[in-house]
Structure formats: C-alpha cells, structure tokens
C-alpha cells in the first residue's frame, strides 16, 4: 500500500469542515492511507505506517488513564457504524514515554473512492492538564471545606450574602435559598447587625481582619456561642469572607475554668489551713492569710521566702525525698509532720500536705502546700507521753513495794520467827534448870539465837533504809573511776586467780548515787570472782552502753553459771544460796536489786550451768 498525501490536499475538500488540524485518511478496513504534516507531528509516523490506526497504538482513557480496547475507540465506531464522532479525547505515549492528549473527530467520506474515512486530530494536552489541575484544586478545596468545622460566607460591603461553603449544612441558621442574595439586616437581629456591618466596612477600609463573638440569636441554636472572623477578599474591593466558628465548647471550658478558679480562690483565701503555692525550688508564689497567721510573716515577707530556709534541719531530708517522688510522678501527694521556724524564732509543728500541679506539657508547674498547725496537739501528746511514763514509773514502784512487802513478810515469817521461838524456848528451859553445865549450853544457844536475830534485824534495817531513801543525792558518776576504786579492793583475788578482766565503757557518765553505783559494781564483780570454775582461767568483761534511751551495765563471766529454769525466781531473794561450798550469805544480789529498783531501774540475768553468767543492769530511763 502506498500513501496518497496528495489526496488530502486536493481542493482542500475537508479543511473547510474539520478545520486546520492533523488529518488522517483511512480505507474501508481502517488502514492509514495518508497523513498531513500536522498529523505526522502528533502521531509516530514510522510506527503506524501501513497499519490499522485503531490497532497501531495504545490509546488511554482521559477519565482513569486505563488502556481502551480498540473496538471501543470512537473512530473505530465510525468505521463500523458510520456515525460521526466529535472531540473524543484519548491519550497516547510519545517516544520519550510522555503522555499526550489528543482530540479525535471522525466521519465517513462517501463521495471519494480513494478515501473511506477522515480523522481530524488536535493536541489538547494543555487543556486537559489545566482541567486536571483545576479539578484537583477543586477536590482539594472540597476536601479542605469538608475538614473545616466552620462556615465561610462571601458577603458584600452592604451585607448581602453571595456565596457560602460548609461541611455541616446543619450549622446554617437558614436554608441556602433563604439567605443567598439577602441582606444580613433582613436576617438577623439588629443588636447583632449593628456590630457586624461596621466591622465589614472597617475590614474593607483598613484591609484588616476583625473578630466578634456572639451568642446564638435564634432558639434553634440556643445556648451556643459563635465567633465571626471578617477578612477582606483581595481579588475584590467590595467583598469580605465571613468565617463563622462554633466556640460553644470553648466558652463552656472558659466558664468552667473561671468557676474552678473562683472555687479555688474561695478555698485558698478563706481556708482554715495555711496554703501556699511554691515553685519547684521552694520559693513562695502565693500564700493565704492563714499561713501568715501560722508562721507570723506578712504577705510581703512570704512573697520572697524560700520555705526550705525555715524547715527544721531534722525535717528537710524527708521533705526533699518526698518532693522528688512527686516530681518523678511516683505519687500524687504526700502528708508529713514537720517543723517551720516562726517569725519570732521558735518552731511550729505542722501537718503538711503537698500536691503537684502540671502544665499542658505534663511538666510540674508548682506545688500546692497545705499547713495545719498541730503545735497544741504535739504539746498535749508530749504531756500525755510524760504522764504515761510517770504512771509507768509509779506502777513499777508500787509493784516493787508490793513485792518488797511480800518479801518482808516472808523474812519476818521465816528468818525472825525461828530465832525468836528459840529464845522463848531456851528462856523457859532456863527457869527450871539448875545444872550449871546445862545452863551454860542454854546460854550459848541463847546467844547464838540472839546474834542471828540481831544480824537479821540489822540487814532488814539496811534494806529498809535503801527502799525509803528515794531522795538520795545523785551525782555525775564516772564509770571508769568508780570501777577502778572497786577493782583495787579485789586486786589480790584478781591476781591470785589470774583473772582476765576487760572493760568497755561506751557510756562514761551517769547521774546516780555514788554509794549505790559502787555497791552495785562491787556486789556483781564479787559474784563473778567468787563463782569461778576450777582449773579454768576466769574471764570477766564489764561494759556500759546506750539502748532505747537508757544506760545499761553488763558484767559477764565464764564461771559455773546458774540453772535458771530451776532458780531464776529466787536469784535476787533474801539469803538465797544456790552453790554450796562458797562463802556466801545470799545477801549481795538481794541488796543490789533493792538499790537498783529503788531508783526505777531493773536487773536481769542470763546464764547456763558451766557456761558463765551475765548480769544486766538497766538504770532509770533518761537518768
């Protein structure tokens, strides 16, 4: 097949009907017969020569850019049905893979035997691309409008509504046909329009944006608040954009904030507690009058106060640690008791509750510190505690006296009755006995009973003197000095038994009657030296130390020990002896216990047979 380009130019037969554009002539089967120069510039001539046009190229839909089946092409339909197709747009790709858009118009040529159909082609890429951009912009604008919660009106300087945009038609006060091309004066109450129209004119005159807030003028939107933003439209000189925003939630939030602020201010200024707002460094941001009353500082003085400077030194560390936990978000608040220095110099006990306030970034903004003066409560508690201790001492003293009376009854019943009975019996015998030898023996027995009675009475007198001498003078006793004095009295025995004696006086001084302290150490050391184990080198350790605010004296040995389950209840009793073969009257521990208990102290013992003994003396608390 040969091309007949001259056929397209002969008499310009088709130029009048289809215009000056690219022209393509086809035969009955759709083969390309000829192309003019314009068509050659639009179509890939070398690629389509001698081919059917609808099969030579891939044509793309303008709507979705998908390939179109050849049978669906407009010029193929003309070829098949003879119907004229005008301005149908398809896309094709050029050699550099650029997509261009062409408009195809096709009709049959019945009077020409050499040409069956003629197609005119125009490059409409610019128009299509511009339309696409315009469509994209329109879609973006529509998307933007649908994303807005606002209503946008186009309004003339006279107040006439010309257009509107909104994603929520329900927000409109009227249906569009009711307000478009209508004046604002005819639609809204005068109290609103009297403010709005001047703002429209000012916006146009000064080319500025103006705002106005107003409550809904209609019952259909009762209780709602709106904000007007009036802005000049720069493409015009007599129109503005009026943006209406629903600010009801904002107004409610502001009202809630104002209400909460009012409540806080009422609670802050009229609270019965002292309240301060402090920054994270402890400086006072604000304080109420009650805090001034509690601490004695004026409001002006408090305004430049760092509260850490007025906390008692013993309370600072705990308060700091708790605040650090607040800052880390480990808790919401904490309460503790601490002391603040009053303006007059003394300390005030307060129960302090501290909570934290965060800003919008969840950072700590400041602390709310509430103080309750508990000085009077603390004072009363101290009085009660002191009275409790005094009652406890009285109780112990009474219990001691009752036990002592019982012991005295026992002593009278046993230790005095026997010698008295012996004396009565011997006197009765002497009345009837005349033999000198017998009388001499009776007198010896009588003297022995008398001596026993005298010794017992003497010992009882000493014990009574101890129990009744509660006001004996106390002096500042030096343990090492008193121990040295007692030690010297046992020096010979210590050397003879080769005793290893060690001391540890952690507490060196004690307010106590010197004579009692010497007697206590003497009796306990004597006891440790006396009951040693044969062929075992004696070891004695004497120690003083502090425990629970009391001074303790400990004397520990490695002697023969005591069977406590059997004898503990009798250890400190009158004339009780548990080890035979030792020079002991059983009086030393009894007197020692009386001396200690007469001043409110206690004595206890820890021991096991053949495992040594430890005597523990707990002197009167705070003595």
Q: What residues contact residue 371 under an 8 Å CB cut-off, 6+ apart?
A: 273, 274, 275, 276, 291, 294, 340, 350, 351, 352
Is 60 exceeded by the pLDDT of residue 497?
yes
Dihedral angle at the C-alpha atoms of 450, 452, 455, 461, nearest 10 degrees? Answer: -80
pLDDT of residue 589: 75
What pLDDT does 142 receive?
61
Quote the pLDDT of residue 2: 46
pLDDT band at 178 (very low <50, low <70, confident <90, very high): confident
Q: How confident is the model at residue 414 (pLDDT cuts 50, 70, 90)?
A: very low
The H helix count followed by the E strand count for the chain is 22, 23
Predicted local confidence at residue 623, as pLDDT: 43
pLDDT at 16: 38
- Residue 611 has phi, psi (to 5 degrees) of -135, 20
C-alpha closest to that of 400 among 602, 605, 621: 602
Question: What would the 3-class secondary structure string for 600-614 be?
Answer: CCEEEEEECCCCCEE
Average pLDDT over residues 38-52: 87
Q: Which of 98-112, 155-169, 327-341, 437-451 has the lowest mean pLDDT?
A: 437-451
- Could you tell me which of 411, 351, 408 has the C-alpha nearest to residue 376? 351
Query: pLDDT band at residue 226, thresholds of 50, 70 and 90?
Result: confident
Q: Is the pTM of this model over 0.75?
A: no
Q: Residue 27: is it exposed, middle or buried by C-beta count within 10 angstroms (0-12/13-18/19+)? A: middle
| DSSP conformational letter for 12 | G
pLDDT at 198 (0 to 100): 92
Q: Which domains does the chain have, with CATH numbers?
A: 5-132 (3.30.450.20), 148-251 (3.30.450.20), 271-373 (3.30.450.20), 381-468 (1.10.287), 475-618 (3.30.565.10)
| Cβ atoms of residues 159 and 184 within 8 Å | yes
Question: Contact at 8 Å (CB) between 575 and 586?
Answer: yes
Give SS3 for 351: strand
Sign of torsion over alpha carbons 493, 496, 497, 503 = positive
Query: pLDDT by residue (tens digit) across 55-106?
Result: 889 999 988 889 999 999 999 999 999 999 999 999 999 888 889 999 999 9
Pick from 306-320, 463-477, 587-601: least confident: 463-477
User: Which of 139-143, 391-395, 564-568 ranks highest by mean pLDDT?
Assistant: 391-395
The residues near 513 (Cβ < 8 Å, ≥ 6 apart) are: 472, 473, 474, 475, 599
| Tokens 């004066």 found at | 185
Structure-model confidence comparison of residues 70 and 166, the more confident one: 70
Mean pLDDT of 351-370: 89
> How far apart, in whole angstroms, are the C-alpha atoms of residue 255 and residue 166?
28
HEC string for 293-310: HHHCCCHHHHHCCEHHHH
What confidence tier does 151 reach under pLDDT thresholds 50, 70, 90? confident
User: Which has more pLDDT, 114 or 349?
Assistant: 349
pLDDT tens for 504-518 read 999 999 998 888 888
Could you tell me what percentage of the chain is helix, strand and coil, using 3-state DSSP and rounding each to the nearest 5? Answer: 45, 25, 30
DSSP 204-215: HHHT--EEEEEE
Name the pLDDT band for 243 (thresholds 50, 70, 90). confident
> What 3-state DSSP class applies to 205?
helix
3-state secondary structure at position 154:
strand
Instruction: Give pLDDT, residue 444.
Output: 72
Q: What is the structure's pLDDT at 10?
A: 44
């Amino acid at each position: 097949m040969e091309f007949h380009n001259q056929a397209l130019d002969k008499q310009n037969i088709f130029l009048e009907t289809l215009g000056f554009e690219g022209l393509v002539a086809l035969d009955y089967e759709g083969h390309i017969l000829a192309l003019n120069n314009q068509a050659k510039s639009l179509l890939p001539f070398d690629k389509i020569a001698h081919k059917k046009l609808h099969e030579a190229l891939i044509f793309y839909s303008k709507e979705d850019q998908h390939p179109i089946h050849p049978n669906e092409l407009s010029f193929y339909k003309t070829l098949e049905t003879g119907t004229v197709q005008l301005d149908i747009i398809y896309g094709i790709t050029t050699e550099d893979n650029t997509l261009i858009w062409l408009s195809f118009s096709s009709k049959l040529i019945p009077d020409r035997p050499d040409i069956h159909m003629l197609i005119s082609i125009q490059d409409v890429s610019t128009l299509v691309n511009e339309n696409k951009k315009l469509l994209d912009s329109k879609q973006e604008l529509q998307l933007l409008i649908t994303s807005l919660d606002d209503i946008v009106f186009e309004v003339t300087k006279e107040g006439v509504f010309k257009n509107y945009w909104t994603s929520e038609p329900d927000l409109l006060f009227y249906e569009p046909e009711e307000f478009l091309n209508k004046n604002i004066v005819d639609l809204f109450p005068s109290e609103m329009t009297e403010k709005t129209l001047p703002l429209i004119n000012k916006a146009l005159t000064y080319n500025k944006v103006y705002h106005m807030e107003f409550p809904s003028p209609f019952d259909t939107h009762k209780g709602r608040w709106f904000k007007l933003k009036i802005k000049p439209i720069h493409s015009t000189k007599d129109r503005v954009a009026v943006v209406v925003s629903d600010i009801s939630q904002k107004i409610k939030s502001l009202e809630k904030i104002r209400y909460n602020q009012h409540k806080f201010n009422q609670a802050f200024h009229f609270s019965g507690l002292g309240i301060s707002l402090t920054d994270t460094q402890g400086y006072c941001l604000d304080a109420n009058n009650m805090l001034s009353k509690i601490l004695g500082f004026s409001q002006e003085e408090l305004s430049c106060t760092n509260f850490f400077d007025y906390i008692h030194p013993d309370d600072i560390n705990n308060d700091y640690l708790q605040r650090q936990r607040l800052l880390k978000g480990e808790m919401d608040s904490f309460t503790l008791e601490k002391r603040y220095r009053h303006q007059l110099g003394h300390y005030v006990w307060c129960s302090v509750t501290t909570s934290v306030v965060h800003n919008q970034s969840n950072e700590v903004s400041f602390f709310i510190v509430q103080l309750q003066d508990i000085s009077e409560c603390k004072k009363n508690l101290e009085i009660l505690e002191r009275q409790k201790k005094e009652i406890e001492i009285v109780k112990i003293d009474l219990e001691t006296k009752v036990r002592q009376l019982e012991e005295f009854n026992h002593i009278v019943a046993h230790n005095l009755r026997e010698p008295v009975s012996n004396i009565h019996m011997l006197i009765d015998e002497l009345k009837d006995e005349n033999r000198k030898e017998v009388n001499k023996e009776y007198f010896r027995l009588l003297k022995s009973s008398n001596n026993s009675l005298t010794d017992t009475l003497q010992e009882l007198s000493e014990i009574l003197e101890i129990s009744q001498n509660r006001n004996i003078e106390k002096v500042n006793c030096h343990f090492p000095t008193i121990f040295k004095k007692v030690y010297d009295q046992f020096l010979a025995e210590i050397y003879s038994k080769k005793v290893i004696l060690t001391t540890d006086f952690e507490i060196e001084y004690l307010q106590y009657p010197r004579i009692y302290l010497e007697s206590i150490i003497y009796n306990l050391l004597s006891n440790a030296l006396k009951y040693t184990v044969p062929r075992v080198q004696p070891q004695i350790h004497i120690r003083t130390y502090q425990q629970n605010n009391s001074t303790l004296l400990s004397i520990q040995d490695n002697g023969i020990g005591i069977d406590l389950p059997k004898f503990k209840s009798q250890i400190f009793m009158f004339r009780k002896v548990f080890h035979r073969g030792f020079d002991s009257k059983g009086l030393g521990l009894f007197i020692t216990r009386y001396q200690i208990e007469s001043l409110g102290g206690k004595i206890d013992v820890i021991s096991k047979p053949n495992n040594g003994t430890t005597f523990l003396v707990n002197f009167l608390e705070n003595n």
